[in-house]
Structure 1
Amino acid sequence: MLGASCVSCHNSHPESPKKDWSEGDVRGIQAITISQPIAANLWSFKYLLLYFAGAGAIGAAVTALQWHQATRYHKMNIDLGQANTEIAHLNEQLKSENLRLGAEIEVARQIQMMVLPTKDELGGIHQLEIAAFMEPADEVGGDYYDVLQLDDRVKVGIGDVTGHGLESGVLMLMVQSVAVALQERGPTDPRQFLAALNSAICRNIKRTKTDKHLTLSFLDFEPDKVTLSGQHEELIVLKADGTCEVIDTVDLGFPIGLDDDIAPFIETRELAFAQGDIIVLYTDGVTEAESPDGDLFGLDRLIKSACSHNTPSATRVLEGILADLKSHIGTQVVHDDITLLVIRHT
């Protein structure tokens, strides 16, 4: 603190920073004078510091979030990599399983085609000319037909298992096997034959736990007549005189495999079958075949086609009907098995 004597000295000293010292002034402290505009800027500077502090905090938060997201994405990439590895492994297993299943289906298809009557068998039947065609919609079909001959007895069967594919094809093979066994050692009466076949098929259906069944008709041929039994599609008879007859089979039986005992439902019908007469048998894959416009081939169109091709040749009748059918189908995908049988009395 400056006294009176010091004030006089400092005010007169040539190196004194100022000449207006007063008693009580403090010596040795630097004096700072701040103008009003600069003082006002200090308040702005405080807000600027707050801004940078806030920006720094936000930047730190963004950095932390980016790190969290990067860690999360890295984990997701690892999980996706593991999932892709598992999917690739499952695809290999599925490919292997498909190859195995494809091989089994091919074996079933070959067995099914092997048990169909050969051309030599069909050509060796006395007084009958038989032409046959079968085309499964899948690798294995559910349509059935067979020509069974034992001594002078000839029995022709045709049927259609519900659906198509492997299960239907297996049931078709069961029917074929049982029918062959019954033809050789079973009853000759058409009603008893069909009832025994149904009983055996029902037992097998229960074992396999399938829900399949089938329509099935048999024709027992004798000289100049045929006995029809079982429920299936309508029978078309082309007479040698050019007339045509359609036989309904709905009242002649019951679907095979639905009930253990169908004997009460089985009926027979005898038809005259003279020399030159022709019988046309088919499955619903023929009548339900669609055109590209969705129009069904239908029974009426089938009858018209058969009548228009009524010639003294089972093969020509078959080829004519197939040509009309394929023309109707055109480019449309076939969704059901197609079976057609033409039998002519020679």
Structure 2
Amino acid sequence: MLAIYSFLFILNIIIGLIPLTLTHINKKSISFSISVFFLTGWSLSNFLIFSSESFLFWNQVAYFCASLFISSQIYFSIYLPIASKKISISTHIRIIVPTLLAISSSFSPYHIQYMNNPRDITFGPLHNIWTAYLIIFTISIVKICQQNKRKYPDKSKQINFYLLALILSLSLATLCNLLLPSLFNETHFYKIGPLVASVFNFSVAYLMLKYNFFNINLLINKIVASGICIFIYIFGYMSLSWVYKLYVAHTISGVYTILIGTYLIFCSLTFQTVRTKLQSTAEKLFLRGEYNYRKVMLNFSDYSSNCTNLTNLIRHLYKLLTDTLEISNVQIYIPEHYDKFKQTSKRICYFSSNKENNVKKKPLNPLLVSEIENKKKHIVLSSELSKPAQDKLNLDYEKLLLSCFDDKNQLICLILLGKKMNESKYTQEDYQLYRTLGNQIKVTLTKIKQLRVQTEMDMAQKIQSEIIPQNHSIPNCTTSTFLRSSDEVGGDFFDIHSKNDHNWIILGDVAGHGIGSGMVMLMIQSIFSSLIHSSKLTDPASINKKANKILCQNFERLTELRPISLVTLNTQDGKTYKFHGNHENLFIYKYKEKKVVHHTISHLPFGIGLTDSIPSNCFASASFTLSEGDILFLATDGLTEAHQDGNPKKEQFNDSRITKLLEKFAHESPELIKKSFINTLNDFTNKIYLDDLTFIIIKHNIVTTNPSSINK
């Protein structure tokens, strides 16, 4: 039993010291080491209960160590996924206060009332309270681990294995050292209880080797390299002494002393270099296997070709650079608009890996970004930067900068790389890999952005098509409408509303086309719809005045002005129309005169939304009247300015063709007139449209008189 306890004691000390011997000590490693040391104290105390006359004292010490082991495991479970996680004061209080109560109860006579010998114990009432403390804290650890698994799915295997080992160890320890003594006064298993600590110890050792729990591969690599280096130097010393005694003298002389002293100085000067070389060799041969950069790139290329999500790409890059290529302190920066739909924002933002990182992240300085953009190089060493730019870096960590540029030579990704974990220098082979990797990152980022923009475009197009009125009617009239966007999302719009006895027709054109104009169009439609249905306004000029004020307030926030031409019409009977705005001409085919007349719409010289300082006399509606058989034709400039064969150098469709088409097909229904316009336009433009195109046809119905009623 002594040999087993000695082995466990040494194993606990080693496992507890390993995290503290890493390069960067953090809260996770400290809390883990503290918990292992208290686990060691608990095991040792249980052994001394049966090996010392102070059995009562060592029993109290065992409960003391167990209390602190549980509380330190609480902290470790919190810091497990992210070592830099901050804990609130209230959480500290909820952990520390119960722990202090459990510690104080351990040394209270109300916890262990009598203990005549290690096998004769009488427990007091505080023993039950200590048991409740153990159960509650164990449940808390389970809940924390479950939350961490949901938040950090990439760490779920580590958390599951750790949680399983801890629960199994605590269950066996509780059974042997708490339940059996409390319920059945059975203390024979006191010695066996601490042996279950081996379950936890071996599980943690497996986690270190299997899942790189504490960057243990780097530590093992250093130990192996240092051991080989020491062996080489000892072998060199023995060889040097053997040669001296064989060929120079059999006794130690001043020459021998000088020779050995020189050799020791040589060893001290070359130890670090030799150890680094050996560590690099050991890294390649034993820990990671053969360095196969071609395989690395093939694997990344396969992954990136199927990657459609920026978050997954970032996570995979961190894993590739940190775990596969084993580079320390990797930091990835990408323009903000790749993650959020902010095309005007070019700020370079840090993207976390959702993994712990010991380097404190600071915002990327504009001076550094500017210098990288000016160099236009994929690989930039920190030493190549200017002194002011170097001052913005932490040169203890960032040694290499990998940058990616798009086809317009704009920076789309910047990766800061620290030292290689095996402490070897970067080679030309490394640089070639990083250049190839940068090109692949560029392709993948471009694809992800295009896919995101296309998704947004499809959504905007769907919304735009759905809000266009499908069923529209004007009293005593027949209507037909047509809207065609030159891009996926257009800036043309029309809307038809009915409220009480008033019918509203709105036709507008936002300057430009594409998703920007489409978003402004949606905003305008929303404003007019709200004004029509929530106010008592019935005059087009009044509606336009109110809409102009709202639009001016909204447009103040935009970085790019979007001029809007618009006409608003109102009718109650389909015969008399009031209209207001600034737009293309109104075309009215007069059925009785067999000709087309124009009504100029120029009430607002600059359109709406540009300025709120428009004279009041500009807000006065005009009117016209439709008789039976008359046709009202409204269109945006995309119709009149459509170019022949889609060539801007050729003639435009112009007003005369509209007039001829109306006169030619006036006897047809609005739907057939629309088809005639579309066919003529397609032939004229060769179906190549440079601008959005919208038109509305409203034909006043001809009332037919029944002959029988006339005879009567």
Structure 1 length-normalised TM: 0.73
Asked if residue 217 in structure 1 is aligned to residue 567 in structure 2, the reply is: yes
Provide, for residues 214-252 of structure 1, a one-character-per-residue CA deviation record: whole Å limited to 9, x for no partner.
000011113321111111111100112222101111245
CA contact (8 A) 1:178 1:197 kept: yes
Name which one, 1 or 2, has greater alpha-carbon Rg. Answer: 1
SS in structure 2 of the partner of residue 203 of structure 1: helix
TM-score (norm 2): 0.36
Alpha-carbon distance between aligned partners in 2 of 1:128 and 1:262, rounded to the nearest angstrom? 34
Mapping of residues 166-181 of structure 1, within 5 Å: 166-181=515-530
Query: Partners of 2:428 and 2:696 in 1: how far apart?
Result: 63
Q: Which among 629, 634, 638 is matched to residue 285 of structure 1?
A: 638
AA in 2 matched with 1:339: T
More deviation, 222-231/167-176 = 222-231
SS at match of 1:207: coil
Cα drift, residue 253 of structure 1: 5.6
Q: Percent identity?
A: 27
Query: Taking structure 1 as reference, are residues 289 and 76 closer, same or farther at Cα in structure 2, changes over 3 Å only?
Result: farther
**Alignment partner of 1:280: what SS?**
strand
Alpha-carbon shift at residue 269 of structure 1 (Å): 1.4
Gaps of 5+ in 2: 1-426, 702-712
Count matched residues: 268
Written as runs of structure 1 = structure 2, the 5 A alignment for 1:316-331 is 316-330=672-686
| Deviations 1:156-212 (CA, angstroms, capped at 9, x unpaired) | 010110000111001111111111111112222222111001111112212233311
2-side partners of 1:251 and 1:245: how far apart?
19
Match of 2:498 among 141, 149, 158: 149
Query: Is 2:538 the partner of 1:188?
Result: yes
Matched residue, 2:591: 240
Q: How far apart, CA to CA, are the structure 2 residues paired with 1:219 and 1:235?
A: 11
Structure 1, unpaired ranges of 5+: 1-74
Map 1:1-20; keep pairs closer than 5 Å: none
2:670 corresponds to which residue?
314
For residue 654 of structure 2, the aligned residue among 295, 298, 301 is 298
Q: CA deviation at 1:80?
A: 5.0
SS in 2 for 1:138: coil
**Structure richer in helix, relative to its length:** 2
Determine which of 448, 454, 472 is the counterpart of 1:102: 454
Letter in 2 for 1:127: N
Aligned to 1:90: 442
Alignment RMSD, CA only?
Answer: 1.9
Amino acid at match of 1:108: A
194, 197, 203: which one aligns with 2:553: 203
CA distance in 1, matches of 2:436, 2:624: 67
Runs of 4+ in 1 over 4 A off after TM superposition: 75-81
Paired residues of 1:254 and 1:262 also in contact (CA < 8 A)? no
The residue identity in structure 1 corresponding to 2:540 is: P
1:12 corresponds to: none
State the 1:77 CA deviation: 7.7
Instruction: Report if aligned partners of 2:644, 2:651 keep a CA contact under 8 Å in 1.
Output: yes
Contact 1:205–1:211 (8 Å) recurs in 2: yes
1:343 pairs with 685, 698, 705, which one?
698
State the distance in 1 between where 2:572 and 2:653 align. Answer: 33
SS in structure 2 opposite 1:324? helix
> What amino acid maps onto 2:508 in structure 1?
G
SS at match of 1:131: strand
Q: Aligned partners of 2:428 and 2:598: how far apart in 1?
A: 70
Contact 1:230–1:267 (8 Å) recurs in 2: no
Q: Report the 3-state secondary structure (helix = DSSP H, G, I; strand = E; otherwise coil) of the residue aligned with 1:230.
A: strand
Q: d(CA) in 2 for partners of 1:189 and 1:281?
A: 19
- What is the distance in 1 between the residues matched to 2:479 and 2:497? 12
Residues 254 and 266 in structure 1, CA contact (< 8 A), matched pair in contact too: no
Quick one: which amino acid aligns to residue 334 of structure 1? Y
